[in-house]
Structure 1
Amino acid sequence: MADHSMLHEWIESVRQRQTPEWCDWALQGIQGAVVFHLGAFCDIPPGKPEHWQILKPPYPVTALEFTYELEHVRKAGLLLCVESFDADGFYVIPAEKVRGGGWITGEPIRGWRNEAGALIFETSSKTEPSGVLMARWALAATVFNLLQCVNVQAIDNPAPQRLNAKRVAKGNVPLYSFKTLCLGLPNERCNGAALGGTHASPRLHLRRGHIRHLGEGRRVWVQSCVVGSGPGVVEKDYRLVAKAAAA
């Protein structure tokens, strides 16, 4: 589990190096950012666009930190997510930590739904948004909807006060508090009544909120949740907690 956020490293890197102009734009509201450390990218339940009912960050500036592997090399990534005040959707500025120190900051991408419900992406460049940029935006959208699930909790990890006092005295950026996500998962099968099927439980995924028809005109709303098979283990900061089987 990470003992501190990486956001202060990105801020210091941007201030010390010549960076694209959009980094200055991101720094304007960074002091009030709320940080989520997600752990390994591959452990995050995949989401589908039709399941993204919420296309807005939970805070005006939300930072998502995660790790991933590329060619057997472990890397660290950061997504700065800024809500769009003049329209639906949100902006994502991706950054990647490089060996030897410093960060590479990518171009912002904005995504939103049009009146027909289709996802639209745009960047400041004249070229079409790359698949990597859209994948980073999709990761953020998935996390924002995860936070609305009934079996997901955000656990607070406060910043060390004494260490921060020393850092501020030396003129350094203080460490940020961060949150981790705790998922309540079934041991083997997804929650719900057995339907008589024999197939294995699906891979861990998001199930969007929906209306369930009970017959005789009765209906109930089923809240969004995470379903599927998953191990009851702690994997870095993305905690998968198995529920005890019913007696």
Structure 2
Amino acid sequence: MKPTAQLPHYSTHAREFFLEAARLLPERLNVRGDFEEFLADYLQESVKFLLPDNGYLFDNHDYKPSMFELQRLPYAMCALEFEADDELYAVDSGLLQSRKRIALCFDPWQLPARQQERLAWLRGKDWADGFPERALAVMAVFDVPGGWAASVGMLVVDLAEDRPMTVKEAGNLSAMATAVGARLKSKGSRYGLPATFVTFPWRSALAGQDHEQAVENLYIDTIDETRVVYEFLAAVNCSNVGTSETAAPRMLNERRQKKGRTLFYPYKTLNLFPPGRRSSRDGGGTHDSPDVHLRRGHPRRLHEMHGGETVWINATTVNAGQGEMREQVYKVKA
């Protein structure tokens, strides 16, 4: 974990790329740009959060059942930016390494109507067909040589039914899960998260993928992002966690606006308070607040005599007593 010296602005750069792709695809390849338009509008309208390297917020990266009740979106559409290091890459996997990541997490029912229409066309189904009433959708956006790409589909979790379960409870892993896990040399987890893979058939066919290949690629593309979303939602919904906002750079945006370029966006970061103190939940913190850099922690449900709330418990602090650290991914409030 390290302080962020400069805001990454992944969403801005990715949006510029997808806007240009949406413009060029119809005239050069006779391909509709609905997918790129969906991504560009989402990156414009979503609330952006800056997360630590690899999106790590907990010591143990697993789908713990105790964290499932915390899977509630703070906003209808979130974009979680993080940098991926070599730990998330298997050299002999045959896959390209992507360091710049954006995990999109959203409630499909709360999307603007035009976005729902785009997804309906991409799915080849009526909009409401197959979506659970309490749905959490995850998509992955990532850098590739020369630009940006995204998972050709989305992973959907039914928040009423898809509870985490152990491998033993789930029975034998599917052949695909076993093969992909071995290919990526992913670390074993005690728990798995049931989910539905919603592919975009027409765009997958354009890439020469049948349904099975499309599902496997979607699975691979969203492995890291789904885990990041799960940890983020568990953290942000602890009662002693709030958010603060770093404003978009005004002078840079003025220059970008004159050139007709996509503007930089503000970022939200997580603020952690000692157990027993409630967060304001209103984004009232500022980056002028001290002080200590949290390495990682875990949620804990307090006994009923202490309110029965779920709070974040600090794991390790770095640079305690060494003065203020600015532009951190998240901070502990004294």
TM-score strictly above 0.5: yes
- Structure 2 equivalent of residue 229 of structure 1: 315
- 2:52 equivalent to 1:39: yes
The DSSP-based 3-state class of the residue aligned with 2:7 is coil
User: Which one is further off, 90-99 or 64-73?
Assistant: 64-73
- Cα distance in 2 for residues equivalent to 1:11 and 1:144: 24
- Whether 1:121 aligns to 2:195 is yes
SS in 1 for 2:80: strand
* Change in CA separation of 1:139 and 1:28 when aligned onto 2, cut-off 3 Å: same
Q: Scaled by the length of structure 1, what TM-score is found? A: 0.73
Q: Counterpart amino acid of 1:38? A: L
What residue is the counterpart of 2:142 in the other structure? Answer: 96
Aligned residue number for residue 106 of structure 1:
151
Distance 2:226 2:56 in 1: 17
Q: Does 1:16 align with 2:25?
A: no
CA drift at 1:61 = 1.5
Letter in 2 for 1:96: F
Q: How far off its partner does 1:12 sit?
A: 0.7
Report how many aligned residue pairs link the two structures: 221
Deviation of the 1:95 alpha carbon: 1.4
Whole-angstrom CA distance in 2 between matches of 1:123 and 1:143 = 21
TM-score (norm 2): 0.56
User: What is aligned with 2:105?
Assistant: 81
Higher strand share goes to which structure?
1
Tell me how far 1:91 sits from its aligned partner: 1.5
Query: Identity of paired residues, percent?
Result: 18
Q: What is the one-letter code of the residue matched to 1:226?
A: W
Query: Does 1:63 pair with 2:65?
Result: no
- Over the residues paired in the alignment, what is the CA RMSD in angstroms? 3.3
Q: Give CA deviations for 1:37-74 in whole Å, capped at 9, x if unaligned.
A: 11212642146341121333211221100012125988
Counterpart amino acid of 1:104?
A
Distance 1:13 1:148, change over 3 A: same
Q: 1:152 to 1:55 in 2, by over 3 A?
A: closer
Assess, with a 3 A threshold, how the Cα gap between structure 1 residues 43 and 167 changes in structure 2: closer, same or farther: same
Unmatched runs of 5 consecutive residues or more in structure 1: 186-190, 193-202, 214-218
SS in 2 for 1:140: helix
Mark the CA change 1:171 to 1:27 in structure 2 (over 3 Å): closer, same or farther: same
Alignment partner of 2:260: what SS?
coil
- Distance in 1 (alpha carbons) for counterparts of 2:255 and 2:221: 38
- Higher mean alpha-carbon deviation, 34-43 vs 69-78, is at 69-78
When structure 1 is superposed on structure 2, of 220-229 and 175-184 the one drifting more is 220-229
Specify the alignment match of 1:200 in structure 2: none
Distance apart, 1:239 and its partner CA: 3.1
Question: In 2, are the aligned partners of 1:35 and 1:177 still within 8 Å (CA)?
Answer: yes
Q: Structure 2: 5+ residue runs without aligned partners? A: 26-30, 92-96, 110-130, 165-192, 200-210, 277-294, 320-324
Match of 2:243 in 1: 154
